[in-house]
Amino acid sequence: MRVHSLTWPEYAERIHDHLVVLPIGAIEAHGPHLPLGTDSILAGHLADQLATRVPALVLPPLAYGFKTDPLRAGGEFPGMTNLRATTMTGVVQDILTASYRHGARRFVILHGHIANTAAVFDAADIFLTQAPDARIMAAAWWDFAPEDTRNEIAAETGVPRTEDHHAALVETSLTMHVAPEDVRAHLLADDDVPRRPSYLILPAPEDTKTKTGVIYRASKATSEIGARLMPAIIDNLTEAVKTELAS
């Protein structure tokens, strides 16, 4: 149940015995074929699906996220709009605190953007010092994607896991399944860089930047692959929530 469609009496009636779910995404380049809000789309979908399985109130998605380092994002591109770590930590902490003040005690944070992980942890950690009876679970879609299925997809498509990261095969396939109207399938791209350092170097050298923001293979993405993965992700997420946050 989405909070933004409830009245305050309806919200007050449910907040004490429902999970509160906060989807968090980012606004950043995902190649020429996926929208800037891809991470929010996927996080929001997971939140809505979880709310069909367990009693949950889904907060409006936090669309902005923490900045990805340029090597992991393939460079810097127009449209990338990020929060500083201190800003994001404060915003998430404020949202948790408000929900707690209204009566929530169990929280799920679903983020679709790996750079958010540390800021989300920091916000939750600070929040819990003031709300010791609260419980928080934070996770992303890739935490629940079955490893055997991902390995099978890699073998079937010929795209190894080392080539399947940001805006690539699996993320694109999931978006094709969840929001096909937002995918420019005719622009699916593969990309590469001359050099892939394992460490951070700033400013990012030119030979570490992609031309498209795809890391590194998206051309074989299909909605069928997304449909194969997403139900299992939702099942595994639901089971984890029931295990960790049973009332």
**Could you report the per-residue pLDDT of 77-115, keeping only the tens digit for each?**
999 999 999 999 999 999 999 999 999 999 999 999 999
pTM tops 0.85: yes
Q: Distance between CA atoms of 95 and 135, rounded to whole angstroms? A: 14
Mean pLDDT, all residues of the chain: 96
Q: Distance between CA atoms of 36 and 73, rounded to whole angstroms? A: 12
**Could you report the per-residue pLDDT of 211-225, keeping only the tens digit for each?**
999 999 999 999 999
The single residue listed with the structure tokens 């420019």 is: 184
- Going by C-alpha positions, the residue among 82, 139, 145, 132 that lies closest to residue 112 is 139
Q: Distance between CA atoms of 247 and 243, rounded to whole angstroms? A: 10
Tokens of 14: 């449910």
Q: Distance between CA atoms of 164 and 184, rounded to whole angstroms? A: 19
Average pLDDT over residues 143-148: 97
The single residue listed with the structure tokens 């991902």 is: 150
